[in-house]
């Protein structure tokens, strides 16, 4: 039950992060480059402070995979939404994350039961049912490519997190080393930011990204990669529910059906037949 509650809290943090991004970018409060830069910087500052207060801080980087995968996700995600529809963006992002993490699970020779394959199929079908674009507008190639980069980055970032011995320190190192490169786009392509945008970016970086990702690294070692992948399909549903509650977006019957399919798929993926071992 403790693990379930921690995973649920992490998914809420991810969804809140999505809502904060949408509020800033779609509302014109911040541009993609500025938002991504302040998000990384605020996350790095808060995490570095927490690690220093706790003691035993070590900033030596043993692998560039964590910082570069984090950077690919944050920049790809922000810039993709300049041209990409939100629904299609979510489909590309979470579809790419599923492929990346399930591929990682198979490469690690993790046993993926048939019920988990069925669960992820049902959950993703629910997400596609809700997010599939209605118009015949051509898909922006650049935006789709950026979102695929973001998906690959986040999938790898999550796979790496399963090996973290110290989740807080590992997350802090990733943010600290990713931030200098993350500031470059804002330096060369400054696209404006209001006071509200700065507040939303700082909150996204310090709380829902920085602390949220540290919590994610805390639970990942206790989860099979395929389970961690399926759990993330709840994030768009939680984010849309947040949009209904906090942004005044109207609910719909499609949302109710999709939410049932996604949650049903997650439950199905966790089902174990009698006598089977946890995997």
DSSP per-residue string spanning 128-174: HHHH---S-PPPPHHHHHHHHHHHHHHHHHHHHHTT-SSHHHHHHHH
Which residue stretches of the chain have pLDDT < 70?
57, 135-137, 246-247, 272-279
pLDDT for the residue numbered 277: 40
For residue 28, is it left (φ>0), alpha (ψ between -120 and 50) or beta? Answer: left
Q: DSSP string spanning 46-57?
A: HHHHHHHHHS--
Residue-level pLDDT at 275 = 38
Q: Please name the residues in contact with 75: beta carbons below 8 A apart, sequence gap of 6 or more.
A: 36, 150, 182, 185
Q: How many residues does the chain have?
A: 279
H-run or E-run covering 264: helix 253-270
Q: How far apart are CA 120 and CA 123, in angstroms?
A: 5
Write the DSSP string, 163-219. T-SSHHHHHHHHHHHHHHHHHHHHHHS---B-HHHHHHHHHIIIIIIIIHHHHHHHH
Q: How many CB atoms lie within 10 A of CB 133?
A: 12
| 157: CB partners within 8 A, 6+ apart | 66, 69, 70, 73, 174
> Hunting for tokens 């994030």 — which residue is that?
235
Indicate the helix (H) or strand (E) that contains 16.
helix 2-26
140 within 8 A of 186, measured Cβ to Cβ: no
Question: Hey, where are the domains in the chain?
Answer: 2-112+139-224
pLDDT at 274: 38
DSSP category for residue 29: S
């Amino acid at each position: 039950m403790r693990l379930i509650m921690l995973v649920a809290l992490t998914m809420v943090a991810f969804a809140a992060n999505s809502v904060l991004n949408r509020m800033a970018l779609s509302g014109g409060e911040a541009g993609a480059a500025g938002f991504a830069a302040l998000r990384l910087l605020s996350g790095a500052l808060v995490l570095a402070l927490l690690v220093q207060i706790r003691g035993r801080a070590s900033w030596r980087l043993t692998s560039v995979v964590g910082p570069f995968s984090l950077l690919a996700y944050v920049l790809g995600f922000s810039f993709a939404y300049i041209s990409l529809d939100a629904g299609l963006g979510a489909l590309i992002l979470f579809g790419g994350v599923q492929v990346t993490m399930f591929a990682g699970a198979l490469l690690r020779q993790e046993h993926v039961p048939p019920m988990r394959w069925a669960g992820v199929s049902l959950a993703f079908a629910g997400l596609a049912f809700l997010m599939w674009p209605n118009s015949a507008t051509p898909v922006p190639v650049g935006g789709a490519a950026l979102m695929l980069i973001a998906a690959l980055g986040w999938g790898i970032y999550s796979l790496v997190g399963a090996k973290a011995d110290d989740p807080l320190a590992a997350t802090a190192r990733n943010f600290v080393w990713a931030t200098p490169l993350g500031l470059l786009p804002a330096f060369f392509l400054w696209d404006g930011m209001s006071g509200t945008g700065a507040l939303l970016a700082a909150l996204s970086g310090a709380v829902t990204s920085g602390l949220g990702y540290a919590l994610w690294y805390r639970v990942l070692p206790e989860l099979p990669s395929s389970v961690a992948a399926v759990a993330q399909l709840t994030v768009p549903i939680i984010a849309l529910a947040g949009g209904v509650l906090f942004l005044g977006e109207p609910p719909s019957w499609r949302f109710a059906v999709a939410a049932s399919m996604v949650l049903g798929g997650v439950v199905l993926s966790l089902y174990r037949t009698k006598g089977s071992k946890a995997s």
